[in-house]
Amino acid sequence: MPYELKSARYLARDILLRAVRPGDTVVDATMGNGHDTLFLAGQVGPEGHVYAFDIQADAVESTRKLLAEQNLSDRVTLLCRSHAELVEAVPAGVAAVVFNLGWLPGGDHSITTLCASTEKAVSAALEILKPGGVVTVCAYPGHAEGTRELEMLTDRLASLSNREYNVLRHTFLNAGPGAPECFVIQKNF
Ligand SMILES: C[S@@+](CC[C@H](N)C(=O)[O-])C[C@H]1O[C@@H](n2cnc3c(N)ncnc32)[C@H](O)[C@@H]1O
């Protein structure tokens, strides 16, 4: 199959395929319908673990079903709580934290990730990363809260010390206004 430069999520997946190893502990900060959780559960293998967050019970239920169908439930902890509580819920030393911002596909568009809690959660994610670990954030500035999140992420991530982190911002330059973006932050070894 030819390589396709298709979407912000594909870019994040490419990075995660390299960064996440069998036995790792990782976090899906926005589980939604569970596709990223399932992918991460496959990557960490039977010795690894995934912590997945969502504030919507429907999202947790869809993900629970998806994992059960694939026999992967026992390597995932599903949390119906905000990713702003990441530090309280997840032990430090994770290999990756994955954010796919916005609303639940097929769900209520008024329930979306919010700038203030996203900022808190991204800071928490950076805190619990192990050396060499990565945070990926797919951001969608095609709506007002998404624009605020993109501006916050750009300012916050640009201010990180390059002695501690490397930060990449992937932009689809010819996709017009509102195109998704993918940020990748790696904690230095
Ligand atoms: C774009 S969807 C995620 C898609 C998902 N990664 C997948 O593979 O299907 C964003 C999700 O973030 C959730 N969300 C919104 N605010 C949140 C918060 N504070 N903490 C955790 N999840 C949140 C929404 O309920 C929604 O399900």
Domains of the chain in start order, with CATH, are 8-187 (3.40.50.150)
Average pLDDT, the chain: 96
Does the pLDDT of residue 5 top 90, yes or no? no
72-97 pLDDT per residue, tens: 999 999 999 999 999 999 999 999 99
* Ligand 1, pocket residues at CB < 6 Å: 30-36, 53-56, 59, 82-84, 100, 102-104, 111, 113, 117
Confidence of residue 3 (pLDDT cuts 50, 70, 90): confident
- Whole-number Å distance between alpha carbons of 83 and 87: 9
Does the pLDDT of residue 10 top 90, yes or no? yes
Q: What is the pTM of this model?
A: 0.97
Q: Which atom of ligand 1 is nearest to the CA of 33?
A: 9
18-38 pLDDT per residue, tens: 999 999 999 999 999 999 999
Q: Which of 7, 31, 50 for a ligand 1 pocket mutation test, highest count of atoms within 8 Å of Cβ?
A: 31
Provide the pLDDT for residue 100.
98
Instruction: For the chain, give the secondary structure using H, E and C.
Output: CCCCCCCHHHHHHHHHHHHCCCCCEEEECCCCCCHHHHHHHHHHCCCCEEEEECCCHHHHHHHHHHHHHCCCHHHEEEECCCHHHHHHHCCCCEEEEEEECCECCCCCCCCECCHHHHHHHHHHHHHHEEEEEEEEEEECCCCHHHHHHHHHHHHHHHCCCCCCEEEEEEECCCCCCCCCEEEEEEECC
Sign of CA dihedral 54, 104, 35, 24: negative
- For the chain, report the end-to-end CA distance as a whole number of angstroms: 34
What is each CA distance from 66 to 16, 17, 29, 38, 102, in whole angstroms? Answer: 20, 20, 17, 8, 21
Q: What is the mean pLDDT of residues 38-59?
A: 98
* pLDDT above 90: percentage of residues in the chain: 94
CA dihedral 4, 186, 36, 58 (to 10 degrees): -140
Q: Which atom of ligand 1 is nearest to the CA of 53?
A: 21
Q: What is the mean pLDDT of residues 123-146?
A: 97
More confident residue, 5 or 40: 40
Angle at 28 between CA 99 and CA 103, to 5 degrees: 50
Ligand 1 centroid from CA 54, angstroms = 5
Provide the pLDDT for residue 106.
87
Does the pLDDT of residue 1 top 80, yes or no? no
99-130 pLDDT per residue, tens: 999 999 888 999 999 999 999 999 999 999 99
Residue 25 contacts residue 94 (beta carbons within 8 Å):
yes
How far is CA 23 from its chain centroid?
Answer: 19
